[in-house]
Amino acid sequence: GHLWVTGRGHTTIGDNYMIHKYDMNGLWLNSFPQNVSSPNVGGWGGRDMEADDASNTLWVGNDNGHVEVMTYDPTTGGLIYSSTMMTGVPTTVRALCLNTTSGNFFTKSFTGDMYEFDSTGAVINSIVNAAVSAYGFGWDATNGTIWSSTTGAAATEIDPVTGNETGRTFST
């Protein structure tokens, strides 16, 4: 029931490396610090996020294959750092989504390879696909596919098995 947005910058007003919480109308509710301790020191901070409301968990993709695991309290609305998942992904976890059937994650950074990894961080599959420049991912549970935000203000559907575009796209 909320929108979670990563934020970096604005160091002059003190909210560098934050995760911002908004209601469904876009009204800002609160901000919470990202984990910037070892091993997540430096870098850009959180890129893309995946939420699982059933477990009150938020996964935040970071540089060097790291994924922050955050938990949120549905009663108080608080968000706290839980742990860092060290994945076998050799790049930034820029676009991130969770296959709600298998429990595996997918990630891609710009035109790099697409990676599938499990809940321990182990890479299950690596798929070469430079055609899609991914900034954000979303899992489509109805079709069992991935939607990727791409350059040119568009979203492109990707087959998670082949990494190829399905041909379905829309402007954003």
The model's confidence at residue 140, banded by pLDDT at 50, 70 and 90, is very high
Scan for tokens 């976890």, then name that residue.
93
The model's confidence at residue 28, banded by pLDDT at 50, 70 and 90, is very high
| Statement: residue 14 has pLDDT above 60 | no
For residues 76, 77, 83, 86, the Cα torsion angle rounded to the nearest 10 degrees is 160
> What pLDDT does residue 9 have?
55
| Biggest CA-to-CA distance, the chain | 45
Residue 106 φ then ψ, to 5°: -125, 145
Residue 137, strand partner residues: 148
| The model scores a pTM over 0.75 | yes
Average pLDDT value over all residues in the chain: 86
> What pLDDT does residue 15 have?
53
> What pLDDT does residue 43 have?
64
Q: Could you read off the pLDDT of 142-171 as tens digits, one per residue?
A: 999 999 988 777 899 999 999 999 999 999
> What pLDDT does residue 45 have?
75
Burial grade of 79 (CB within 10 A; 0-12, 13-18, 19 or more):
buried
Q: Could you read off the pLDDT of 30-82 as tens digits, one per residue?
A: 888 887 666 655 567 788 899 888 889 999 998 889 899 999 887 887 888 88
Residue 84, strand partner residues: 68
